[in-house]
Chain A
Amino acid sequence: MARKILYQDAINEALDQEMARDDSIIVMGEDVVGGTGANGEMDAWGGVLGVTKGLYGKYGDRIMDSPISESALVGAAVGAAATGMRPVCELMFIDFMGVCFDQIYNQAAKFRYMFGGKAKTPVVIRTMYGAGFRAAAQHSQCLYNIFTHVPGLKVVMPSSPYDAKGLLIQAIRDDDPVIFCEHKALYATEGDVPEESYAIPFGEANIVREGDDVTIVALGRMVRFAAKAADTLAADGIDCEIIDPRTTSPLDEDTILESVENTGRLVVVDEANPRCSMATDIASLVAQKGFGYLQAPIEMVTAPHTPVPFSGALEDLYIPSPEKIESAVRKTADYGN
């Protein structure tokens, strides 16, 4: 039955239940056991935030700490996947993708295609993204759009504990490489999660809230910000429909287009930088396939085209806020009036 647990515990539970079900699943990454070299299992902290805590005690050597070398760890995971394992590897920060990108985009993403469908690469790469932690320009980025650009990768962005568990289970069972993006600011959020195992299919958007006036498409942490804005706007009689695509690849185009067909107005909220982003991608989708539905220009709420600032005051201004979403919705709702 459902009970309230944290986003990070939902991830832990998905790993635990799947590892119990299938021996071929292994977990590897920097510090995922934690405390290696210290004495005993009590020191197995389970990653910097404790997301994998408890798994080492249960599954022993199937949880592996790796050297601090993303190219080695991701390469090993991709190789293990190609030869019959189902590795879940952790790229601690999405910002570190640069050093292991060949293993991801030019190897893992290509195997099924280049080997005529005879190879599969069931690897999951869990990774943290997002700003708000005073962690500066090299540990705060939203680079999911770069993975989304690559054919052969599936890209997942859970915004709630329920989605985190169900999408991670689906990611593990999927035969293709999956980039599983976890926002740092969501780990401590709480929500209803069934105890039983369940898988949420990829490419199935969640309609977080129904409304007839303006469609907001929001991703990851921005779903919560959009919900906050929608509460304020509802008090003023503007009913927003919030769509969380849940996966950027595949993308549930139909749900977005159907919603805009009903509302005629679209605001896309994306914490990433604005150029060549999910915001521009979704805006272009609707401009091309839903042009006739639109009653106002599409609005985008994104970070500016700059690195994430270290200054706290600037970082707060950098991240799209519920207030910025609210003002974008008002702008599109008022258009033509």
Chain B
Amino acid sequence: MSNTTITAITMPKWGLSMVEGKVIEWLVEENADVAVGDEILDIETEKIANTFEALDGGVLRRKVAEADQTLPIGALLGVLAEPDTADADIDAFIEDFQASYVPPEIVEGEEAAISYEWADIDDYKIRYLRMGEGDRNIVLVHGFGGDLDRWLFTQGPLSASANVYALDLPGHGQSTKTVGDGSVAAMASIVTKFMDHIGVEHAHLIGHSLGGAVAIQTAIADPDKVDALSLIATAGIGTEINGTYINGFVEAESRREIKPLLQQLVGDPSLINRNLIDDILKYKRLDGVTEALRTIASEFLDGDRQTVDLRHHLASVSIPVRVIWGSADQIIPAGHADNLPDNVSVKVIEGFGHLVHVEAASEVNKLLQG
């Protein structure tokens, strides 16, 4: 009996705070061939629902977890093997796995145990999270109204081969809720000073949406600090933007107001679950947040137009620049990825929305690591 061809599919750990996940449904049938990267399961976490892609290939010989079952990370979901592996061997594998599986201990207040760090920069307290070890440095810059947790599906995978830092911009997440003049240039200078603070001389900047504009501006202002730019559904390289979404997000006070807005961020609206909405409302209720967001929005928005256009700078930077977009983006049109200079590599991913790095995490992560 050889177990070498039998592989366990286990509950993934998406982000530091995930301790368990709920199986929504299987996307493949038993005895189907599964290749690495195939979508096999929909899983819902405390934060958001997502599709789980196969990490190994083989024939799905057994579904162990059922729809609606909630299981801790690492728990057995299914078994991959060769078509000719005996059923008895599969049974034995499952039995061995279950006998030796110990669910991770759930510590009360697990989230508080995440080692966020704080940087004093100018008058701001900036929260950040560092993951990974490596020669290369990556800094993740979230978008308008977001925070470092929006990199839930990005930071872990990238940290396998790099130092990855994610920060909360001023006015966002748990950083200070004032923003000065709220300009892209002011936020870019915070990113520069943040890098100085953590002792990172140069880094690959990955920015989403407004964070993309901040990353470009950082590269313009301090070219020596930026090794490469990866811009996901970025602001700042075209004029159109969904101003109704932005202003709606700023002014929304209730779940019923904000839910339909957040659903515009994704190709599949069912991804926006109660916990994500609660987290965003909890952020928006904090003193100073509405004013901070208003200030930022008034700086980069004029109705349905962006006022900051850095597109012409992209041709003149001498570093690798990558642009990633979801084709179904309802906030900033994917058309902004067209006709970029030759030194910019472009990938538009079909069917996904503005949060393409969350919805199509593994595909985006592969591009970011490429």
- Nearest residue, chain B, Cβ from A197: B287
Choose among B116, B253, B255, B285 the residue that contacts A1 (Cβ–Cβ < 8 A): B116
Report if A199 contacts B (CB, 8 A).
Answer: yes
Choose among B108, B174, B255, B287 the residue that contacts A204 (Cβ–Cβ < 8 A): B255
User: Residue-by-residue, is A178-210 near B (CB-CB < 8 Å gives 1, otherwise 0)?
Assistant: 000000000000001010111111001001001
Report if A275 contacts B (CB, 8 A).
Answer: no
User: Residue-by-residue, is B98-123 near A (CB-CB < 8 Å gives 1, otherwise 0)?
Assistant: 00000000001101100010000000
Report if B142 contacts A (CB, 8 A).
Answer: no
Report if A255 contacts B (CB, 8 A).
Answer: yes
B177:A196 contact, CB within 8 angstroms: yes
Scan residues 150-168 of chain A and give those whose CB is less than 8 A from a CB of chain B: 162, 166
Taking the closest CB of chain A, its distance from the CB of B288, in whole angstroms, is: 8
Report if A118 contacts B (CB, 8 A).
Answer: no
A4:B112 contact, CB within 8 angstroms: yes
B286:A201 contact, CB within 8 angstroms: no
Report if B274 contacts A (CB, 8 A).
Answer: yes
A198:B287 contact, CB within 8 angstroms: yes
Report if A102 contacts B (CB, 8 A).
Answer: no
Q: Known: A204-B253, A207-B255. Contact between A3 and B112, CB under 8 A?
A: yes
Report if B256 contacts A (CB, 8 A).
Answer: yes
B256:A166 contact, CB within 8 angstroms: no
Q: Known: A196-B177, A204-B253, A207-B255. Contact between A1 and B127, CB under 8 A?
A: yes
* A196–B175 CA distance with the chains assembled, in angstroms: 11
Q: Known: A1-B116, A196-B287, A198-B282. Contact between A207 and B274, CB under 8 A?
A: yes
Report if B3 contacts A (CB, 8 A).
Answer: no
Taking the closest CB of chain B, its distance from the CB of A264, in whole angstroms, is: 20
- Nearest residue, chain B, Cβ from A4: B109
User: Residue-by-residue, is B170-183 near A (CB-CB < 8 Å gives 1, otherwise 0)?
Assistant: 00001001000000
A201:B253 contact, CB within 8 angstroms: yes
- Nearest residue, chain B, Cβ from A239: B68
Residues of A within 8 A of B255 (CB): 204, 207, 255
* A65–B358 CA distance with the chains assembled, in angstroms: 55
A196:B274 contact, CB within 8 angstroms: no
- Nearest residue, chain A, Cβ from B277: A207
* A255–B255 CA distance with the chains assembled, in angstroms: 9
Taking the closest CB of chain A, its distance from the CB of B138, in whole angstroms, is: 24
Taking the closest CB of chain B, its distance from the CB of A116, in whole angstroms, is: 28
* A245–B108 CA distance with the chains assembled, in angstroms: 27
B174:A200 contact, CB within 8 angstroms: no
Taking the closest CB of chain B, its distance from the CB of A71, in whole angstroms, is: 36
- Nearest residue, chain B, Cβ from A258: B256
Scan residues 194-237 of chain A and give those whose CB is less than 8 A from a CB of chain B: 194, 196-201, 204, 207, 210
Residues of A within 8 A of B274 (CB): 207, 210
- Nearest residue, chain B, Cβ from A17: B287
A2:B287 contact, CB within 8 angstroms: no
Report if A254 contacts B (CB, 8 A).
Answer: yes
B285:A254 contact, CB within 8 angstroms: no
Report if B244 contacts A (CB, 8 A).
Answer: no
B254:A204 contact, CB within 8 angstroms: yes
Residues of B within 8 A of A194 (CB): 282, 286
B254:A2 contact, CB within 8 angstroms: no
* A245–B253 CA distance with the chains assembled, in angstroms: 15
Residues of A within 8 A of B174 (CB): 1
Taking the closest CB of chain B, its distance from the CB of A4, in whole angstroms, is: 5
A197:B286 contact, CB within 8 angstroms: yes
Residues of A within 8 A of B116 (CB): 1
Q: Known: A1-B116, A1-B127, A3-B112. Contact between A198 and B286, CB under 8 A?
A: yes
* A196–B127 CA distance with the chains assembled, in angstroms: 14
- Nearest residue, chain A, Cβ from B288: A196
A254:B256 contact, CB within 8 angstroms: yes
Scan residues 115-174 of chain B and give those whose CB is less than 8 A from a CB of chain A: 116, 127, 174
* A63–B320 CA distance with the chains assembled, in angstroms: 63
User: Residue-by-residue, is B244-285 near A (CB-CB < 8 Å gives 1, otherwise 0)?
Assistant: 000000000111100000000000000001100000001001
A166:B285 contact, CB within 8 angstroms: yes
Residues of A within 8 A of B254 (CB): 201, 204
Taking the closest CB of chain B, its distance from the CB of A44, in whole angstroms, is: 28
Scan residues 1-48 of chain A and give those whose CB is less than 8 A from a CB of chain B: 1-4
- Nearest residue, chain B, Cβ from A207: B274
- Nearest residue, chain B, Cβ from A162: B282
Taking the closest CB of chain A, its distance from the CB of B366, in whole angstroms, is: 33
* A251–B110 CA distance with the chains assembled, in angstroms: 34
- Nearest residue, chain B, Cβ from A204: B254
Most buried by B among A166, A199, A204: A204
Residues of A within 8 A of B109 (CB): 3-4, 192
* A200–B287 CA distance with the chains assembled, in angstroms: 11
* A235–B98 CA distance with the chains assembled, in angstroms: 21
* A26–B285 CA distance with the chains assembled, in angstroms: 24
* A222–B351 CA distance with the chains assembled, in angstroms: 44
* A1–B273 CA distance with the chains assembled, in angstroms: 22
9 smallest CB-CB distances across A and B, nearest first, come from: A198-B285, A197-B287, A198-B286, A1-B174, A204-B254, A196-B286, A210-B274, A201-B253, A4-B109
Q: Known contacts A2-B111, A162-B282, A255-B255; can you find 16 more A-B pairs with CB under 8 A?
A: A1-B116, A4-B108, A4-B109, A192-B111, A196-B287, A197-B287, A198-B282, A198-B286, A199-B285, A200-B285, A201-B253, A201-B254, A204-B254, A207-B274, A210-B274, A254-B256
Give 11 CB contacts A-B under 8 Å. A1-B116, A1-B127, A3-B112, A166-B285, A192-B109, A196-B177, A197-B287, A198-B286, A201-B253, A254-B256, A255-B255
